[in-house]
Amino acid sequence: MMIRDKKSGRIVRKATDEEVLQAVDDGYQTTREIAERFDVTQSVARNYLLDLLNQGKLDRRSVGTTYVYRVIK
């Protein structure tokens, strides 16, 4: 996941799969929580989480009108 500086729009660094999986491993996490933790938009976080889901690294559940993600162990 590319992390950009909000003011300049420049890519500051890339979050690794391991960093994101560790963040989700804290328990069920929403897209918003991941976006806030890595200071990216919800759209960027959602796309990254969906990629990890498609790789079989995450599980997703529907809770009301949102999805929550957790690491598959």
CATH of the domain at 55: 1.10.10.10
Does the pLDDT of residue 67 top 70, yes or no? yes
Rounded-to-integer distance, Cα 25 and Cα 65, Å: 22
Question: Which of 8-12, 20-24, 33-37, 41-45 is the least confident region?
Answer: 8-12
Average pLDDT in the chain: 83
Residue 48, domain extent: 2-71
pTM, 2 dp: 0.79
> In this structure, is the dihedral angle defined by the CA atoms of residues 37, 24, 70 and 44, taken in order, positive or negative?
positive
Provide the domain count of the chain: 1
- Among 9, 66, 59, which Cα is nearest to 39's? 9
What are the pLDDT digits (tens) for 17-37? Answer: 888 888 888 788 999 999 888
Question: Mean per-residue pLDDT for 33-56?
Answer: 89
